[in-house]
Each structure stands twice: as structure tokens, then as C-alpha cells.
Amino acid sequence: MSFADPFLDQITAALEPHGLVPRGGFVFGPGEAAPGLHHGAAARSVVLIGHFGSSIWPHFARWRQSHSDQPDPLDAWSKAVLTRVAVELDGQAVFPSDKPYLPFQQWAKRAEGLSASPLGLLIHPEYGLWQAFRGALLFDRAIGFPAVPLNNHPCDSCIEKPCLHACPVDAFDGARFAVGRCRSHLAVPEGALCMDGGCLARLACPVGREHAYTADQQRFHMAAFAAA
């Protein structure tokens, strides 16, 4: 895919070796609270960076082999990659774990026109729940972004909502996620199915099933969640 603004093509090329892609963005409007850049000026544009399916997994897995001491390896990998890309493109990388926290979920909704699923995760009309944002790049230039697609929320036409009935401990009710109940289940032998095979509620969603994470990737995420 080629963008009208060639700078987005440069960003795409810099991210491609890592399995990452630019996932939309926007120019901060007049009077809007924009994050500051290292040199003191306010950012003019933000580009959300993420992935679809398991595109990052082989790249991250290779990196992890020589960085086994990292306590939060996926965050550490994301920061290492995007910080280098930001320097290459004369921008600045920011991340959801940075303090003070930036409104990443609101940015993501604005950049791609996404909405939250009943599980609380943003859902993509093609990739479903099998996608994520790893950070963002800030620039002091106005970038010409393509038009944001009209909100195509796949959950609106999903009558049965299988995601809300697949969890063995009913951790989801469409409004809240019972985090403690979920983690308690994962800590006992009965939770092995979720730990080994992935979140049953997430797997129940029919949207984008063909893009589901690999088994290794799902086990990694479940282990990281259980240990948090």
C-alpha cells in the first residue's frame, strides 16, 4: 500500500523489518493538548504503531533469545525497536507504559475509527481481537493521513455475543472484567486450558479468527497476564 504522504511510506518501510505497521494517526488540532517533544515544542502529528495477527512474533522471539533477563520483554522489545525508528525518522517514540500516561486508547479509536468489544479490547473489523498497538511516534510536522474509515463495529451485528459466554468463570459481563476472578482461575489446575490455549473468551469471537495469534504467542500473553 502506498500513501498520499510519502512520509508514511518511509515509516512503513522502517517498521516492516520488525513486523510492525503504522496504524493511522492524526494531526493535533489548534488548542488541543499535544505531548511535548524533547526539544520543547509540542508535537504536531502522532502515528500509532502496532501489528495485526502474529506478524511481530518471529521478530520478537529472535530478540528474546538474547534478552532473556528482561522483566517485561515485549515492552522492552517495542521500546528498543520504536526508539531506533524514531531516531531514524527524526521523531519521538512514546509508549502506553510511559508516565505520565498518554491517552493511547483514545488515540487508537481516533486513528482507526475502532470501538471496544464486550471484552474491553478494541476490535478491528477485519482482524478482530488479534491486533494490538505497541506505541506511537510523534513528529513536529503535519502528516497527510488518509481518511479514517467509517466506524464499522462488528459487535453491533453479533447477536449471540459468544465472547461473553465462553469464559469458564464468567469474568466478563459486557461492562466489566473481573480481573481477580480470572487470575485466580489461571492459578489452579482448572485454568490450564486457558493458560496453554489462550483466553477462551477471546478465542470465541468469530471476527478475524484466521488471524489468531500462534500458540506460543498466546501462551506468552497468558503467562504475562497471570504474573502481573
Distances (CA, A) of 83 to 19, 40, 92: 15, 18, 7
Q: Where is average pLDDT lowest: 2-6, 32-36, 54-58, 90-94?
A: 2-6
175 with 90, same domain: the answer is: no
Q: Tell me how many domains the chain contains.
A: 2
132 with 49, same domain: the answer is: yes
Gyration radius of the chain over CA positions: 18
* Whether 122 contacts 24, CB under 8 Å: no
Residue 104 to residue 102: CA distance in whole angstroms: 6
Cell of 65: 533469545
pLDDT tens per residue across span 103-155: 999 999 999 999 999 999 999 999 999 999 999 999 999 999 998 877 678 99
93 with 196, same domain: the answer is: no
Residue 51 lies in a domain: yes
Residue 118 to residue 189: CA distance in whole angstroms: 27
85 with 191, same domain: the answer is: no
Give me the helix-helix angle, 6-15 and 73-88, nearest 10°: 140
136 with 72, same domain: the answer is: yes
Residue 18 lies in a domain: yes
37 with 138, same domain: the answer is: yes
118 with 173, same domain: the answer is: no
pLDDT tens per residue across span 162-207: 999 999 999 999 899 999 999 999 999 999 999 999 999 999 999 9
